[in-house]
Amino acid sequence: MKTINNELRDKIIFAAQLVSISLIWLLVIGIIFWISNLIYLSVDLKDSPGISIGISLVAIPVFITLASILTYVFVGFHREKKKHLNTDSGN
Amino acid sequence: MNEETKNTVDIDEALYRPIYETGKSFYFAVGFLLFIIGFTLVVYIRQVYYGLGVTGMNQPVTWGFYIVNFVFFVGISHAGTLISAILRLSKAEWRRPITRMAEVITAIVLAIGGLHPIIDLGRPDRVLNIFTAGRLQSPLLWDVTSITAYFTASTVYLYLPMIPDIAKLRDRGGKMVWFYEFLSWGWHGTEHQKKVLSRAINILMVMVIPIAISVHTVISYIFSMTLQPGWHSTIFGPYFVVGAIFSGIAALMIVMISFRKYFHLENYLKLVHFRHLGTLLLIMSLLWFYFTFSEYLTGVFGAEPHEMDVIFYKFTGTYAIFFWGMVVCNFLIPVVILAFKKFKTIPGILIASISVVIGMWLERLNIVIPSLANPRMGLDMGMYTPSFTEWTLFIGGLAVFVLGFLVFSKFFPIISIWEIEEGRKESVKEVEKRVTSYLPDPANSVE
């Protein structure tokens, strides 16, 4: 019974972790949409669109890189966690 | 509890103690801070209800304490991530007990500072306009973007190096294991995980430095991109960055000294750490003076009438006490204390740090107000006196900072335990190897 509870607990925690990592991507996607909207506005109003595009070229990759680093760590840790658990159960 | 954890518990128990033992003073402090924050909230709601008329801001001084505090708090945030990243990058071994506190400062203070422009809005709901009708051509929007990027980067940079410590708390059991398990992301300290973490931290520390510099440069652009006397200056970007690092180091040392005393961390935060940071503070003080001198010399030499109005307002006019107070606090006091080994004790360094924090706040005041108080376009000279509302919100901001730190210390170690362990195991060998590599090869020296 305890094992089942532990398994369920692990699954819930993993799901919560997945949600948390998804939130950073949600933030990045939100920022990309926001900046794209501002670029569209500046093009529409013919109000220095070059500057808006220039800033977006710097800002968007920064957010994407940050989210990618977090995802890289998350995936890297969990792949190893699985191996670790398999080794433990094998023993 | 595994064997490795058991051993470290014995050695580094002092670092776990604040998490597992809670004294009455903690509850008293939290209660007192919550009371201040609650009162601040009431005062803020009153401001939203009655409008900005309850502040001391009026024509021509339309930016007051809120913008001063915005620049000040964001400046303090440079303590953390930037200093931590520089120390990590330069492999300064004495960084180990410092970096965590520095990173926490950034995350908390940046959140407080970032809220100030919203507080400055009479109608805070109008902040939503930046989503629908923002203009990316405006330095104000550059600020929103760069502060969001810096906050995201700083939070990630705080969180990732905390994972091994969170896993230690998970393995120790006790309260809230599920919380630590959720945050530890399955860390078991395997070689592969260490490699992944180290690679991620390395990328982040390189990335975070330009982001941090860009933030304060962009904040300076709010002022320097206007044609306002006293603001329109090409030196403002680096001047703001230097000031931010300067105030950041001072704030970091105040926090370190407070926690050292409160949590009895004398064995971790030694005089040598304060002396190294004190030397950095001294260098920043001299740099700050150099920038200030250059800034005002250019203005005085040019003697443009409107520029001179602002300069005289600061040198001999209404703001003279704040201007010269700034020079004393940012230059005279820290240089006298930090240049002499005799005064470079922990109490001496604390005095110098408090002096710098006050001085840098005065500097922000001296930048924001005098230029607005001396308008060029047919308006009378203005006088700004902050109201009770503004003072309360300022004190409330400081209370949030202290509360944030106290709450953090209740859940996580304020000194990175795994980095201290790593230092014990590997630092001596690594530094020896590094120093040996600097020295000339004996065989070649004979030749």
Mean pLDDT in consecutive groups of 10 residues from the start of chain B, 447 residues: 53 83 89 96 94 87 90 85 81 85 90 91 89 85 89 91 92 84 88 90 89 89 88 90 92 92 88 91 95 92 89 91 95 94 91 95 93 81 86 95 92 89 83 84 62
CA distance B176 to chain A (A): 13
Q: Is residue A75 part of a domain?
A: yes
Domain that holds residue A85: 22-90
**Each residue's pLDDT tens digit, A9-27:** 888 888 999 999 999 999 9
Asked if the Cβ–Cβ distance from B193 to A78 is below 8 Å, we say no
- Contact A11/B at CB under 8 A: no
Return the residue in A80, A82, A85, A89 with the most chain B beta carbons within 10 A, the one to mutate for interface testing: A80
Distance between CA B221 and CA B141 in Å, rounded? 11
> pLDDT over 70 for what percent of chain B?
96
Q: Which residues of B touch A51 (CB under 8 A)?
A: 136-137
- For residue A69, is it within any domain? yes
Is residue A28 a part of any domain in this protein?
A: yes
Domain B23-125+136-413 has CATH 3.20.20.240: no
- Report how far residue B5's alpha carbon sits from residue A22's, in angstroms, rounded to the nearest whole number: 32
pLDDT classification of A91: cutoffs 50, 70, 90: very low
Asked if B119 and B66 count as a contact pair (C-beta separation under 8 A), the reply is yes
Cα dihedral sign for B188, B189, B191, B196?
positive
Copy the structure tokens of residue A63: 């957010």
Number of domains in chain A: 1
Q: What is the pLDDT of residues B37-71, one digit of tens each?
A: 999 999 999 999 999 999 888 888 888 899 999 99
A84: pLDDT confidence band, cut at 50, 70 and 90? low
Using CA of residue B131, residue B134, residue B137, residue B143, what is the dihedral sign? negative
d(CA A47, CA B227): 20
In a domain, A16, yes or no: no
Q: Please name the member of B132, B133, B196 whose beta carbon is closest to the beta carbon of A76.
A: B196
- Residue B174 phi/psi, 5-degree rounding, is 85, -150
Chain B positions contacting chain A at CB under 8 Å are: 131-137, 141-142, 145-146, 148-149, 152-153, 156, 160, 163, 178, 181-182, 185-188, 190, 192-193, 196-197, 199-200, 203-204, 207, 211
Mark yes or no for CB contact A13/B153 under 8 Å: no
What pTM was computed for the model? 0.89
Distance CA B328, CA A61 (A): 43
In this structure, the number of other CB atoms found within 10 A of the CB of residue B101 comes to 24
Domain spans, chain B: 23-125+136-413
The radius of gyration of chain B from alpha carbons, rounded to an integer in Å, stands at 24
Q: Is residue A10 part of a domain?
A: no
Please list, residue by residue across B262-272, b when 16 or more beta carbons sit within 10 angstroms of its beta carbon and e when fewer do: ebebeebbeee
Q: Distance (Å, rounded) from C-alpha A45 to C-alpha A43?
A: 5
Rounded Cα distance, B170 and B160, in Å: 16
A5 belongs to a structural domain: no
Determine whether B219 is exposed, middle or buried from the number of CB atoms within 10 Å of its CB (0-12, 13-18, 19+). Answer: buried
Q: What is the ipTM of this complex?
A: 0.87
How close A1 gets to chain B, by Cα (Å)? 18
**pLDDT tens-place string over residues A24-57:** 999 999 999 999 998 998 888 888 888 888 888 8
> Residues of A numbered 13-52 whose beta carbons fall under 8 angstroms of chain B's beta carbons: which are they?
13, 16-17, 20, 24, 27, 31, 34-35, 37-39, 41-42, 47-48, 51-52
CA distance B203 to A73: 12
Residues in A touching B146 (Cβ below 8 Å): 59
Nearest residue, CB atoms, A66 vs list B153, B185, B186: B153
In a domain, A1, yes or no: no
